[in-house]
Amino acid sequence: MVMATQLFSLLEWCLTIMTTKCEKICQDPDGYYVRKIIVDNAVQKGAVCLDGSPPAYHFEPGLGEGVENWIVHLSATNLHFRGARIFEAIMEELLVKGLKNAKNAILAGSSAAGYPTTLYCDHFRGLLTNTPRVKCLIDSGYFIHENNPQQARGFEHIYHALITLHGSAKALPKSCTSKMKPLLLFPKNMPQYIKTPLFIYMSSFDSFQIQTTIDPNLYGFIETRTCNASQKKTLKGTYIIITNYALPKSNNPKLRGSFIDSLNQHTSIQKRWFPENVVTIDNLSAPKAFADWYFDRKHWYIIDKHDMALPKYGTECPLIGGSL
């Protein structure tokens, strides 16, 4: 599994994880525990969770060379992410802890955190003026606005809530605030304004996307390979929308890398980037593709050619997420 080691070395050497959290998460009792740090002084700055509690993050310093390599991972087990202020309060603390001296930095986000990750990507780049390599990774956070308005309603609702509840409109790129705000957050409309390199990892058949905007029952049919003709037609339609219209075009993969599989899954970097169950397309693993792209070895823009959703394989590690 030579391919996977690239990322594992990336993780091992550089692992300095930060995850913003506002709520207790379900920890695997046998898992590796990363201690939680509560940002008490954030409260004075108004950077509080929706229930008034201070924000917290999980932090593990890097070892050896890894001290100068940082991964800031925004996770979203809920929508208690009061965007701007919490992000600022935590970043301030991390910069002092050594992030300002990082050589390599990644801002990553899964699921609903894909939205703040995209939104804050340029800002994160801007904070790290001495860091030669800063890029962002969006894991399953790239939701499509289907042409069918009924199907899209779920996401319009989510994005509208993110904007109004979390006051994130201020953080939107200035060049586009005149546009319709909730729609702006759909992938087709937003990443074009982001100047920092972004890597998009997801499935064309993202199970959360399909359940929310198409049909909650499809999940089971895909897993048991029992989709009927009309379900298959719907899924093929989704594939075409994602691959032909929603994703950034492949003309500048240095700026917009991708690894798009066809699995019935949602969020992978914390659950499926392990040697036992790593996702591959034509023998290229997702971690290897990302590591190559991140270090400018090869700018992958990969889309699995299966235009039909495939059941998941392997076991998923019972870590964070899986849903919003």
Write out the residues near ligand NAG by the rule CB under 6 A. 228-231, 282-283
Q: Among residues 61 and 220, whose Cβ is nearest to ligand NAG?
A: 220
Pick the closest to residue 186 from 218, 223, 228, 151 (CA basis): 151
CA distance 163 to 159: 6
Cα–Cα distances in angstroms (integers) from residue 25 to residues 76, 89, 287, 302, in the given order: 10, 21, 25, 32
Q: Is-contact 256 200, C-beta < 8 A?
A: yes
Least separation in angstroms between residue 304's CB and ligand NAG is 12
170-to-75, 83, 84, 156, 164 alpha-carbon distances in Å: 21, 10, 8, 18, 10
CB of 234 to ligand NAG, least distance (A): 9
The two structure tokens encoding residue 273? 């980037």
* Closer Cβ to ligand NAG, 148 or 177, answer by number: 148
DSSP class per residue in 233-298: HHHHHHHHIIIIIISPPTT-TTTEEEEEE-BS-S--TTTT-STTT--EETTEEHHHHHHHHHTTS-
Tell me the closest approach of the beta carbon of residue 220 to ligand NAG, in angstroms: 10
* Shorter beta-carbon distance to ligand NAG: residue 195 or 233: 233
Least Cβ distance, residue 8 to ligand NAG (angstroms): 19
Q: Which is nearer to ligand NAG, 2 or 96 (CB)?
A: 2
DSSP 310: B
User: Shortest distance, CB of residue 232 to ligand NAG, whole angstroms?
Assistant: 9
Judged by beta carbon, residue 175 or residue 224, the one nearer ligand NAG is: 224
Q: What distance in Å separates the CA atoms of residue 304 and residue 301, rounded to the nearest whole number?
A: 10
Residue with Cβ nearer ligand NAG (175 or 283): 283
Closest CA to 17 of 74, 55, 92, 78: 74
Only one residue has tokens 């001495």, namely 130
Q: In whole angstroms, how close is the CB of 283 to ligand NAG at the nearest point?
A: 4
Shortest CB 288 distance to ligand NAG, Å: 13
45 vs 236, beta carbon nearer ligand NAG: 236
